[in-house]
Amino acid sequence: MRILVTGAAGFIGAHLTARLLREGHMVTGVDAFTPYYDVRLKRDRWAALAGPAAGGAQARLITCDVCDGERLQGVFAAFRPECVVHLAAQPGMRASLSAPFVCQKNNVEGFLSLLECCRHATVTPRVVYASSSSVYGACTALPFVEEQPADRPVSLYAATKRANELMAHTYAQLYDIPCVGLRFFTAYGPWCRPDMALYLFADALSQGRPLQVFEGGDVRRDFTYIEDVAEGVVRCIGVPLQARSELFNVGSGRPVALLSVVHLLAERLGVTPRIETAPLPPGDIPATWASLARIQPRTGYQPATTLEEGVARFVEWFRAYAASGAGSGAVR
């Protein structure tokens, strides 16, 4: 299958591209290489997972901002994708509070640009796009199920992701574009972004800095290993749809307290953590937990990586990347 991946040099995008190549798909990736964090990490990630350093089949990577509709139309015309996996976005709940217009432009206008390309394509591709567990917002009923109302976001990032779901539904109805939205939970693993929890924790622990955890470390997250995330995406690329637009949770189904993750990381790094507690910041929520009751019977998705296994693999990568001198990619 010809598959176009946007945000291909990102954390999920590069791992997914590597998986698709192993399965024999033809993949073209686009990425704007925005400097939200050090672009060296993006380039190193792509090279290691889907580029020359990976060995075997390689994907073509095009530098392209999805907000540039004319350039993106050219990519569509040249590659003629049968499926588009849209992962390009401005990530981060806190970043959406400090740079709201950047978040809106990349997440809403960028997705609209992509949907318009799909609308005018010679052959209409399936669209599999990244949503987020953050759309559940102020919901307190756990685990989160797709049928729950998602009308109380607590951050602009969450609002843009919910907007994407509504936009996809609209284009699916108006233009018969099959759309699959994936509500990702807390992805982690090798090559993650430096603003993600495990990277922040590991960086502080390895340098002996105090580590700040919210609500005494009792905040719980549904940590999902990156290969399991990629597995969920691959299964939803081919899932028979029961409607033109559908939504699926992609998580582990196993919420874990942040303090437990900190101690697991500290043990793997061979250090004693110095922990400071802080209140939950605005826009954050106390717990996430994915119900897999929809995705499992429909696709056979089954997350296979335990937290202990995933953290061990992450620490192995983190140590090697930090030792290379390239692991200082601070978020800007």
List the CATH number of the domain containing 67: 3.40.50.720
Q: pLDDT value at position 140?
A: 86
Within a domain: 55: yes
Q: Are 95 and 143 in contact (CB under 8 A)?
A: no
Within a domain: 181: yes
Within a domain: 198: no
DSSP string, 53-116: GG-SS--EEEE--TT-HHHHHHHHHHH--SEEEE------HHHHHH-HHHHHIIIIIHHHHHHH
Within a domain: 170: yes
Q: pLDDT value at position 256?
A: 96
Within a domain: 101: yes
Give the residue numbers marked as catalytic.
157
Q: pLDDT value at position 330?
A: 46
Within a domain: 143: yes
Within a domain: 322: no
The Cα–Cα gap between 160 and 90 comes to 10
Range of the domain at 63: 2-185+225-251+289-304
Q: pLDDT value at position 326?
A: 66
Q: Which residues of the chain carry a pLDDT beneath 70?
A: 52-56, 326-332
DSSP string, 106-154: IIIIHHHHHHHHHHHSSSPPEEEEEEEGGGGTT--SSSB-TTS-----S
Q: How many domains does the chain have?
A: 1
Cα–Cα nearest to 247, from 313, 291, 191: 291
Bond preceding residue 279 cis, omega within 30 of 0: no
Q: Are 27 and 11 in contact (CB under 8 A)?
A: no
Q: Are 67 and 52 in contact (CB under 8 A)?
A: no
Q: pLDDT value at position 332?
A: 38
Q: pLDDT value at position 317?
A: 97
Within a domain: 328: no
Model pTM? 0.95
Q: Which amino acid is at 97?
A: L
55-65 in b/e form (b: 16+ CB < 10 A) is eeeebebbebb
The Cα–Cα gap between 2 and 21 comes to 11
User: Taking CA 18 as the corner, what is the angle to CA 15 and CA 20, rounded to the nearest 5 degrees?
Assistant: 110
